Structure 1
Amino acid sequence: MFEFVLLCVAGFAAGVLNAVAGGGTFLSLPALIYVGVPPVSANATATLIALPGYLSSAWGFRDDMQAEGSLGLREILLVAALGSIIGALLLIVTPGETFLWVVPWLLLLATILFASGPYLLAAVRRRGLGDAGPVLSAGAILAVSIYGGYFNGGLGIMLLATFGLIGYRNLHGMNGLKNVLAVVLSLISALAFIAAGLIVWDLALGMAVSAALGGYVGARMSRRIVRTDLLRHFVTGVGATMALAFFLT
């Protein structure tokens, strides 16, 4: 019962964080590994768990999304779908021992990207890189989508930074599109993981329901949060702590 409650709380908190600031995988992945799920299966299950939360938070931002940049939404979705397939296949062929070695480095990379996200976005806009053409835009989306198909951690801030690169300016609209792409990435990756038999279903279902509720709550909360910097510091601290814990195990 303790493990069930722990996983449901982790799923809800991950849904909230993914909607508001990102970084939900910093909670869901370690929670699954803590209760004994093998690393590759834990990562695959965490990807599936995040899907309902992304979907509900995307619905919460549905009125804010609008087309910007040099790529249309259809082109962005197609490129993201291709990248997620490549990333998922890379995870499926990764041995468990190798992935367990890679996890702390991925968590550390995601934490650094998350912590530097506002500065990265500001640098992109300050240098006038928002007029990227369709080729550069597609390449950036593809690279981030491969990462997201392989490992969900830090995906949100990487997508936001990429949107800034390809010409997006409306932050709420960027958040909405971020969650739409996260839905596509998570769905395609999850289908590949299901086909490979990597999902731990008895744990995934309860966490997925909790993540969906957390995603919707987080989307509604986001407009009321004044000190998002404090939330970002908290998530960064969680990510750094989890990375350190994996390095020491």
Structure 2
Amino acid sequence: MLVAGIACLAGACELRVHNETETSSASDTSSTGATTEGGAPEVCLRYVDCLKEIDAEAGAEAEASHGANGSCWSGDEAAQADCLALCDAQLRNYASAFPDVAACEDEGIVSDVEFEIGEAVFDPVDPFLDPVYRKLEPGGTMAVVRGGQGLLMLPFALRGKNFVITEDPNDWDNPKMPRVDMWVDIDGHNVGFGGHFARLNNYSVGFYPLDDGMGTLEHMYIAIIVPDAIADPQTLTGQPGIVHIELNTFGEPAAIHELEFTVAPEIQGF
């Protein structure tokens, strides 16, 4: 129920964004992150060094494919982006699994990607009007609102720059489509998968360019649906929460943000 509801509100259905008439795009520009003289991104060199410490044989194989002069970097941009994504994901996995292995440290990975977490603010009188973006400050309030289909949700918005987007923000199968891994926790209400209030993995998010002269890209909201297991949504109000978002973009290491918030004291439209 949770995944289906989110997909319809912010995925498979058309996106509801503040600037739907915008047609220009910063799409189809490529980057492979910070690279060394051999052509491999730094994150891949660190992944190879980490794997050598854990498993010498596997590390040698990774050196041949993902190392400084590996086969990855003679392929096309899509193949190189896939290689980088594997390095980034695996290095973070190994950093978590082997915290005492210095070679597996994942801090300080260089990426040009910038993004911030916001809230889609709906008109309390007419929730069918286009929402307005508001940056979510650490410790700020986040409203639970009733969506157009009657579902209660937390509408997390995103803004960023310096990453590839698709010409069509609804082209979900395009390998250049930005994707997020995210989870939300709310005190006393983490009843979902993995012990979280809600969690999304490899979730496509279509961005639109804003006409602000600064190259800003916007995804108006990801609808995090209040789980059915919460019998009384009013118990959410005033509770502290945490949102963790990993933005995965074409040819770049993941950009990661996490911040604390408080659920607003009233449920909008409830």
User: Shorter-chain TM-score: which interval?
Assistant: under 0.3
Structure (1/2) with the larger helix percentage: 1
TM-score normalised to the size of structure 1? 0.24
TM-score normalised according to structure 2 size: 0.23
Higher normalized contact order (CA 8 Å, seq sep 6+, divided by chain length): 1
Which protein has the larger Cα radius of gyration, Structure 1 or Structure 2?
A: 2
Q: Which has the higher strand share?
A: 2
